[in-house]
Amino acid sequence: MKRRTFIGTSAAASVGMLTYNTGHAMEPDTAKEDKLKNNINHSVCYWCYGNIPLEDFLKSLNNLGVKAIDLMGPKDWPLLKKYNIHSSMCNGAEISLTEGWNDPKYHEILIKNYTEMIPKVAEAGYTNLICFSGNRRGLDNEQGLKNCVEGLKQILPLARQHGVIILMELLNAKVDHEDYMCDNSEWGVALCKALDSNNFKLLYDIYHMQIMEGDIIRTIKKYHPYFGHYHTGGNPGRNEINETQELYYPAIMKSILETGYKGFVAQEFIPTWDDKIAALKEGITICDV
């Protein structure tokens, strides 16, 4: 399942101590589950595991000690509450990744959607609500930014009233989301500065920004006040975040902690292992610094 399909429409395995060999999970033994340090607040994006029924997936998160899940809308919140799993990044107000705030023709429907969704997010006890810039479609960066400011400033007073943070995701325009406008940290930070609101921040996706600009740790240290949430993913391929890819996540997580960040870091890699929950456990363990 691709994320662009999952967004807008909305394991059954118990996990013990696991050992790993050349990127593949071996059979779990009966030893007691290791406890997480939880210096990092762990979350996970369900779209990467969409072939696992949501209720089974939530049970697996309970077994792993993961407290939150990303990119869930109101229809799934009751089930999350049943398993005491927090919705760390809500969705459901956006149109799509390609149709966003940089185009004024979408402002009317977006303002309506977010005006309806913001109170729902707050009433459910959640804080973060995702949004997207949309594709350029010939717009230059300056005009696209101005259009985003004009639209977003109309919903931010309501977000402030309800204690909700609107987060625009940084996505790569090279490999996965061609023509997407909010494809680099500097443009996103410029938007944050123009809006000048504590209720608007960026979702810093480490995988996407590795593709677009690299220099991940330096960027986090420089711009962390504007980053309200983080996603992981191995590059190349957006698969496991272990030694099979080029990013060293323990150092990245330590740099995030050093900024004083208290929010969630969500695993957003697509597992290649047969045992997808074991792959998730490995990713959580790598980031649990």
Instruction: List pLDDT tens digits, range 235-260.
Output: 999 999 999 999 999 999 999 999 99
Q: What are phi and psi of 30, to 5 degrees?
A: -100, 10
Which percentage of the chain shows pLDDT scores above 90?
Answer: 87
pLDDT of residue 3: 56
Give the tokens for residue 83.
């398993």
Supply the Cα-derived Rg of the chain in whole angstroms.
18
Taking only the tens place, the pLDDT of each residue in 185-222 is 999 999 999 999 999 999 999 999 999 999 999 999 99
Domain residues of the chain, as ranges?
3-7+40-287
Question: Residue 35: what pLDDT?
Answer: 87
Q: Identify the helix (H) or strand (E) that includes residue 6.
A: helix 3-6
> Which residue stretches of the chain have pLDDT < 50?
8-32
- DSSP code for 36: P
pLDDT at residue number 33: 52
Which residue's entry shows tokens 């899940």?
69
The predicted structure's pLDDT at residue 17? 32
Q: Per the confidence metrics, is the pTM higher than 0.75?
A: yes
The pLDDT of residue 38 is 87
CATH pick for 3-7+40-287 out of 2.70.170.10, 1.10.275.30, 3.20.20.150, 3.10.20.600: 3.20.20.150
Which pair of tokens denotes residue 28?
A: 């779990």
Alpha-carbon gap, residue 44 to 67, rounded angstroms? 9
